[in-house]
Amino acid sequence: MVDSGSPADTVQEVSEREALKRIFPRLPESSATLVGPGDDAAVLAAPDGRYVVTTDMMVHGPDFRLAWSSAEDLGWKAAATNLSDVAAMGAVPTALVVAIAAPPSLPVSALEAFADGLRAACAALAPGCGVVGGDLSVSGTLTIAVTAFGDLEGRAPVLRSGARPGDVVAVSGRLGSAAAGLRLLFAEAVDSDGTPDADAFARVVAAHPELIDAQLRPRPPVADGPLAADAGATAMLDLSDGLALDARRVAEASGVAIDLDPATLGGDPLTALTGGEDHGLLACFPAGTVLPGGFHPVGVVRAGSGLLVGGRAFDERGGWDPYLEWDGAAG
């Protein structure tokens, strides 16, 4: 891969056109591409005749801190969070469209590293998925928006609204690790006045690499989404906002109660319930189904409404809501 220009060049110094020239060769290619980056729009093959489409944003401050996330981390996470949403519908991710609004002082090398993160995440989590287009603009706040496309390959989409009493509730992926990592960052990767600190961050990473990696570079079980659909999953969603909040969404959409077994949630059930950004998959399966992939049972669907934990109503909101959490501090 050949780079041109200096790593110190900023976007403002080289212009949008030259920045894109340096980014394009680093982007992953999609196996569905008929016309890729370079025209006004991409053209993708749609052998199923349908497309799954989803979008997600990451904004500096509420969603990430540059003091803790490298540009490559951000590329990985931007891809991973969208790939998991496609998988949650039972589809195979095929293409990403990426838009970035960056401060003019951002080095072009950061955009190149971001592209490397996109490529690495697609290769590891959804081989054959690639970037087919996007946009680059200017903003005082670094903002990343990704739109992902997926192929159902003849499957019916798995919705949140199909859970039925008697179904087994199952999860693929670790619960609570990303939230534990984020808690460590805010508690220990800062100086005395709460400002992110590089030396403290390095110490936290060295002491808790798996938890920090779960927060900065989530590894959603993308392949388990289509496997769940093939196994007859009645409902499914991506665990992006916390098990309690997301399970409640399935219960509300399906008109049922979901009863989670705290004994299945690991050593810290409360963190597993209320921590966000796991990016695993929550699915419901008919009783007796052999659970596919990495799915393991965590509860059962019952007649009624709402969320239960161990048979008792769980009313704590839990999870992540950007408007309720936002305090205006970019960090």
Give a yes or no: residue 298 inside a domain: yes
Q: Supply φ then ψ for residue 14, to 5 degrees.
A: -100, -15
For 142-207, give the DSSP string.
-EEEEEEEEE-TTPPPP-SS---TTPEEEEES-SSHHHHHHHHHHHHSB-TTS-B-HHHHHHHHHH
User: Are residue 134 and residue 266 in the same domain, yes or no?
Assistant: no
Give a yes or no: residue 1 inside a domain: no
User: Are residue 227 and residue 315 in the same domain, yes or no?
Assistant: yes
Ranking 51-55, 136-140, 195-199 by mean pLDDT, the lowest is: 195-199
User: Are residue 209 and residue 283 in the same domain, yes or no?
Assistant: no
User: Are residue 188 and residue 243 in the same domain, yes or no?
Assistant: no
Q: Look at residue 325 and tell me whether its pLDDT is greater than 70.
A: no
User: Are residue 64 and residue 145 in the same domain, yes or no?
Assistant: yes
CA distances to 23, 84, 88, 96, 128 from 118, in Å: 11, 14, 20, 9, 12
User: Are residue 36 and residue 143 in the same domain, yes or no?
Assistant: yes
CA distances to 57, 168, 238, 277 from 185, in Å: 21, 35, 24, 14
Give me the half-sphere count of Cα atoms (radius 13 Å) on the Cβ side of residue 306: 10
Number of structural domains the chain divides into: 3
Query: pLDDT-based confidence at 8, cuts 50/70/90?
Result: confident
User: Are residue 233 and residue 302 in the same domain, yes or no?
Assistant: yes
The overall pTM is greater than 0.85: yes
- Any idea what the CATH number is for the domain that residue 110 is in? 3.30.1330.10
Give a yes or no: residue 6 inside a domain: no
Give a yes or no: residue 3 inside a domain: no
Q: Which range of residues forms the domain containing residue 281?
A: 168-173+220-322
Q: Look at residue 84 and tell me whether its pLDDT is greater than 80.
A: yes
Q: Look at residue 327 and tell me whether its pLDDT is greater than 70.
A: no
User: Are residue 202 and residue 231 in the same domain, yes or no?
Assistant: no
Query: pLDDT-based confidence at 305, cuts 50/70/90?
Result: very high
**How far is it, in rounded angstroms, from Cα 89 to Cα 39?**
30
If we measure between CA atoms, which residue out of 80, 115, 150, 170 comes closest to residue 1? 115
Pairing of strands 43-44, 33-35: antiparallel
User: Are residue 23 and residue 112 in the same domain, yes or no?
Assistant: yes
User: Are residue 119 and residue 19 in the same domain, yes or no?
Assistant: yes
Pairing of strands 235-239, 296-302: unpaired
Q: Look at residue 328 and tell me whether its pLDDT is greater than 60.
A: no
- Mean pLDDT, to the nearest integer, of 240-263? 96
User: Are residue 254 and residue 304 in the same domain, yes or no?
Assistant: yes
User: Are residue 78 and residue 104 in the same domain, yes or no?
Assistant: yes
Query: pLDDT-based confidence at 6, cuts 50/70/90?
Result: low
Residues in the chain: 331
Strands (E), 4-103: 33-35, 43-44, 52-59, 92-102
- Any idea what the CATH number is for the domain that residue 297 is in? 3.90.650.10
How is residue 162 written in tokens? 């199909």
